[in-house]
Structure 1
Amino acid sequence: MKKTLIALGLGVATVFSTTALADDYVIDTNGAHASINFKVPHLGYSFIKGRFNDFSGNFSYDPSNITASNITVNIDTTSLDSNHAERDKHLRSDDFINASKYSTATFKSTTIEENSDGTLTVNGDLTLHGKTNPIAIQANFIGAGSDPWGGYRAGFEGSTRLELKDYDIAVMGASSYVDLELHVEGVRQ
C-alpha cells in the first residue's frame, strides 16, 4: 500500500513538473512601453495615423508551449488620438466608433499558434462598436529578459487589418479598413 501511494505521489509530481506553466505578465502602459496604433486611408490620397492612449491588459507566455499562452486587452475608445482635436471628436462620434456608447473595446485570444517561420498567429475575438468578430494578429516575439529595476519583461509586436463594415462602422470612400500596429511589453508578475 505504501509503495502504491509513493508511486501515485511521484506520478502526480511528474505530471505537474513536466507540465510547463506560462508566466503571467501585465502590459506596461505606464512607461509608454506598449502602444496600439492605427492607420486609415483618407480619401484614397493618404493615411490618417493615430493611437489609443489608454488601454490595459495582461498575457501569459510560455516559450516552450506557445499554445498555453494567451492575451487579453481592454481599450478605452474615448482615448482615440490622431493628433487633431476636431477630427478626433468626429472619429469618436456616432458617425464612426461612437465612443460615448461603446467606450471599451476588448480583445481576448482564443488560440496562439507558432508558424514554421517562428512568427506567431494570435487568434481571438475583438469586440468593437458593440460587435464581436474573430480576428488574427500576425505577431513576432521581440525578446525577454531582466530589466534595470529588478523585473523581467517580454515584448512582442503585431499587426492586423480590420474591415470597418464587420463592426458596423461607417465607411467613407476608400476608408473601408483600418490597419492596427501593436507593440506589447509586459512585466512578469
Structure 2
Amino acid sequence: MLKKTLAALALGGALLGAGHAMAADYIIDKEGQHAFVNFKISHLGYSWLYGTFRDFDGSFSFDAKNPEASKVKVTINTASVDSNHAERDKHLRSKDFLNVDKNPTATFESTAVKSTGQGTADITGNLTLNGVTKPVVIAAKFVGEGKDPWGGYRAGFEGSTTLKLKDFDVQKDLGPASQDVQLIISVEGVRQ
C-alpha cells in the first residue's frame, strides 16, 4: 500500500511539474500598440523606403525552458499597408504588389523553432502572401518577459526575415536594387 501511495504521489508530482514546464499562450498586444509588422525596401539603391501594416492579429505560445515547443500564428490585413504616402499605398494595394482585392490577408504559421543561442532562435514557418505560400525563416530574439502594471504577464520578441518579391508573385519590377524586402517584426504578447 505504501509503495502504491508513493508511486501515485510521484506520478502526480511529475504531472504537476510537467504542467509548469508547458508553454504559455499569448495574444499579441495590438490594441495597446505594442506590436509592429514593418518592412523596408531599397529605393533605387539610394535610400530606404519604410512601411508598416496597421492591422493584424496573432498569438504565440512560449516557454523559456523549452523554446523549441513555441508556436506562432499571425494574420495581416494587407489593405492596412502604410508607407506614409497615400498614392504609393494605393499602388502597393494594387495587383502590381499585394493584390488586396484578391488576397485580403497574409498569414504566417510556424512549423518549427530552433534555438540558435542565448535568447535567439530561427522560427521556420509558412508565409502566405499575395496568394503564394512559401516556407520562410525568421531570425528571432527574445526581448524579455514579466509582470505588467495592470496585473498581467507579458513576453516580447523581435525578428526579421528577407523575402524575394518574385517568390511571392509580385509582378512589378522595381529595378536591381529592389528585388528583396526586409520584414521587421516586434511583438509583445499578453499571457492568457
Assess same fold via TM > 0.5. yes
**What corresponds to 1:89 in structure 2?**
90
Instruction: Give 1:45's aligned residue.
Output: 46
Question: What is the match of residue 29 of structure 1?
Answer: 30
Deviation at 1:45, TM superposition (A): 1.9
Structure 1 residue aligned with 2:12: 13
Once the two structures are superposed, the pairs formed by residues 35-114 of structure 1 within 5 Å of their partners are: 35-114=36-115
Structure 2 CA distance for aligned equivalents of residues 125 and 94 of structure 1: 22
1:84 to partner: Cα distance: 0.3
Q: CA deviation at 1:99?
A: 0.9
Counterpart residue type for residue 129 of structure 2: L
Moved more, 125-134 or 39-48: 39-48
Residues in 1 aligned to 2:131 and 2:160: alpha-carbon distance in whole angstroms: 22
1:53-75 deviation line (CA, Å, top 9, x unaligned):
00000111100111111110000
Q: Which residue of 1 aligns with 2:174?
A: 172
The number of residues matched between the two structures is: 188
SS at match of 2:178: coil
**Distance 1:12-1:130 versus aligned 2 partners, 3 A rule:** farther
**What amino acid is the match of 2:109?**
K
Say if 2:187 is the partner of 1:187.
no
Partner deviation per Cα, 1:11-56 (whole Å, 9 max, x = no partner): 6434423432111110000111000000011122222110000000
Counterpart residue identity of residue 57, structure 2:
S
- What TM-score does the superposition give when structure 1 sets the normalisation length? 0.92
Q: Structure 1: 5+ residue runs without aligned partners?
A: none
Amino acid at match of 1:41: S
SS at match of 1:115: strand
CA distance in 1, matches of 2:14, 2:133: 37
What is the TM-score normalised by the length of structure 2? 0.91
Of all paired residues, the percent bearing the same amino acid is 53
